[in-house]
Amino acid sequence: MSKGTVISDEAIKILSANKFVKLVRSNRISFTYEFRIMMWERWIKYKSISSIREVMKENGIDYSLFNAQIISRIQRNFKRDGKPTNGRMGNSAKRNKTDKNYDQFLVSTGKFIRARRGISFSKDYTEKLYSLYPDQAIEDVLKSDGFDPERIGYQRIHALKRVFDGDIEPHEKQTFDQNIIEEYTDHPMVERITAHRIKLTDVFYSEASIFSDMHINDILKIFDIDSAILTISTKQRIKKQITQSDHTCSIHLEAGSSDRLKAIALNLYEALYNKMACFLKSISQCIWDLSASLRREAFIMLDSLADSHIMPLSQIISEAGLSRSTFYSILRNDAYGRYEELRNQNEEEEVRAIIDTMNYNGYPKGKRTIHMMMPEITGKSFSIKKIARLMRKHGLNSGVRAPRQSLKAAREHLEKYKCPNLLKRKFRLAMPFTHILTDVSYLFFGANGRGYLSAVKDAVTGRILAAVVSENNDSAMTMETLKQLERYTFRDNAIFHSDQGALYLNEAFQKKVKELGFRESMSRRGICEDNSSQESFFGHFKDECDYTSCSSIEELREMVLSYVEYYNNERPQWTRNKMTPVKYESYLEAMPPEQFDLYMSKETDKYEKTKALATKRAKARANLILS
């Protein structure tokens, strides 16, 4: 793909390992046909070198390893040759060759002729394609006419597109015979015509500029100019000049005007009428999607269209899909669409009244005092809610009993980092290593000693997976707890449940939880039952272990770890088949699918009964309070 490019041996080794690199040497690199198509499809959407670079980067090709001119050359080939074909880029005669039998078929249709490089589009067929372009793609027209674009050659089609787009000049030169010259010499839109050139008047360009969105053939037809006598390059030049012209009404019919000028004026009127009708139809489809202010502007614009005398106002209203009463009521209502503007003006007066009341006598005043004193001071009266809203919006803080910022910051922090309750007390409705619980408990020992126990429990088996004892109730303790979980393999979408303690409303902690593959869940505020399974472990530990006799944090740590070992491996649990947590874990893991489904069914029944009982007790407590 690129000769004369120096690529290092290390770069060759890296690039050759990529599946899209077909060949790479110290002075050359080429890519597979599949990859060239990928680059072309991205580039054709946004014609820039950056598009090619993006495709290379996405597919693991480091373009910094070779000369930047390679990417420029790829873009140059795209511009010149169009879509890559046959696995190669280029437009040589050898690459464009199609089989002779198909060439003969194309020529026999009369729509193609033999040319220096095989075949080419005939003049008449080129005109047909040009008249339909760009509303219809050249490839689609070819297919509808029974031709195979791939066998004709995408480079040849791309070259024709470039002619139609004005990127390159066609080989055909403009010529006019004597009959055409005589016909258009007195044409009102033709300033001068010779054997090889035609110059149109400024009036033509001025009037045609309003139709710049139409095809050039249709524009010429309006002004009684036969587009068939003009080459594509001439029409492209005329179209370009039309788009650069400003519209002014320049055609004036007077007594003695030629019949041709009258016919052009009639064509122009019909074209303007059709254009206006099309415009009004599009307006009817979107006018009610506009904002109120823009809608009124649109109605004013429609009213002004009647001054052109192309279409009466009653018909303009009808074509736009509007009723006369709606149109005139909006048009005559100066306040329509100005709600925001008028509200802002009214709000300025209201804010001024609040400021005047606040400044009276120089003493600070809260919203209630402002509400009570405003009628006597300003003669106006607002509700307390409105005064509070306007003061908040415009920063009019009186400083009287202002809210504590620390509490506000705490609430914002809670809202930002709290997680939903995904577990919903379904502690045992899963396989092991699916529902994981954590919490921290105070441990008072010795004379005045205090420690903290951070533990992680598998809610299904009851096994303690991690336990950390620390002198400080801080994030270092909880991060160490999470670190101990790295030795286990948890199931996909496992839930990590905690309360809404400050230790768990921590960005670093939550990031680590996600890295371990958990979905984080939290108990509702003040509802300790949402994490009751974890709380039960702390209860058993404090009932069964005499940790208060410890004299140091190290001794407490040893006692806790010793109890966790005993709890997991030796202490059976009544509700878990009288097995230890470790044995119960193995029991569930080895259970056949059918048996496990039966087990889950029983656990679900227990959960529903417990839930119903809890609801019944809650209602009873509520009734007791109300009575």
Question: Between residues 93 and 337, which one has the greater pLDDT?
Answer: 337
pLDDT of 91 higher than 60:
no
DSSP 337: T
417-590 has CATH 3.30.310.50 classification: no
* Band of pLDDT at residue 89, cut at 50, 70 and 90: very low
* Domain spans in the chain, listed from the N-terminal domain onward: 9-90, 94-164, 178-250, 271-332, 339-393, 417-590, 591-627
Task: Dig out the tokens for 242 from the structure.
Answer: 């039309």
Taking CA atoms, 84 is separated from 1, 80, 104, 409, 481, in Å, by 13, 11, 25, 60, 58
**Residue burial 154-183, b: 16+ Cβ < 10 Å; e: rest:** bbbbbbbbebbeeeeebeeebebeeeeeee
pLDDT score at 512? 94
Quote the Cα angle for 503-417-494, to 5°.
Answer: 80
Strand partners, 453: 441, 469
pLDDT over threshold 90, residue 453 = yes
At 90, the pLDDT band (50, 70, 90 cuts) reads: very low
Q: Could you tell me which residues come within 8 angstroms of residue 356 by beta carbon, excluding any fewer than 6 positions away? A: 377, 378
- pLDDT given at position 5: 58
Task: In whole angstroms, give the CA distance from residue 93 to residue 117.
Answer: 6
* Residue 117's pLDDT band (cuts 50, 70, 90): low
pLDDT band at 93 (very low <50, low <70, confident <90, very high): very low
Other residues' Cβ atoms within 10 Å of the Cβ of residue 350 = 16
- Angle between helix 553-569 and helix 532-544 axes, rounded to 10 deg: 110
Q: Looking at residue 102, what is its pLDDT?
A: 83
- Compute the distance between CA of residue 494 and CA of residue 498 in angstroms, rounded to an integer: 13
Cα separation, 90 vs 238, in Å, equals: 32
Whether 92 shows a pLDDT value over 70: the answer reads no
Q: What is the pLDDT of residues 436-448, one digit of tens each?
A: 999 999 999 988 8
Q: What is the pLDDT of residues 545-574, one digit of tens each?
A: 999 999 999 999 999 999 999 999 999 999
pLDDT tens sequence across 287-319: 888 888 888 888 888 888 888 778 888 888 888
Q: What is the pLDDT of residues 65-81, one digit of tens each?
A: 887 888 888 888 888 77
What's the mean per-residue pLDDT of the chain? 86
What is the pLDDT, as a whole number, of residue 498? 93
pLDDT reading at 166 higher than 80: no
Q: Per residue in 193-248, pLDDT tens? A: 998 889 999 889 888 888 888 898 999 998 999 988 888 888 888 888 888 888 77
- DSSP secondary structure of 395-444: T----TTPPPHHHHHHHHHHHHH-----STT-TTSS-TTSEEEEEEEEEE
For the stretch 411-424, pLDDT in tens is 887 888 899 999 99
CA–CA distance, 419 with 525 (Å, rounded to integer): 11
How far is it, in rounded angstroms, from Cα 329 to Cα 567?
Answer: 82
Q: Cβ distance 20 to 31 under 8 Å?
A: yes
Give the span between the Cα atoms of 122 and 40, in whole angstroms. Answer: 29
Residue 497 and residue 603: Cα distance in Å, rounded? Answer: 20
Q: What is the pLDDT of residue 444?
A: 92
Report helix, strand or coil for 352: helix
The mean per-residue pLDDT over the stretch 264-283 comes to 86
Q: How confident is the model at residue 451 (pLDDT cuts 50, 70, 90)?
A: very high
Instruction: Kindly state the percentage of the chain with pLDDT values over 90.
Output: 30
- Cut 0.85: pTM above it: no
Which residue type does 246 have?
D
Q: Which positions ≥6 away from 89 have C-beta within 8 Å?
A: 1, 36, 74, 77, 78, 81
pLDDT score, position 297: 85
The answer, yes or no, to whether residue 133 has pLDDT greater than 60, is yes
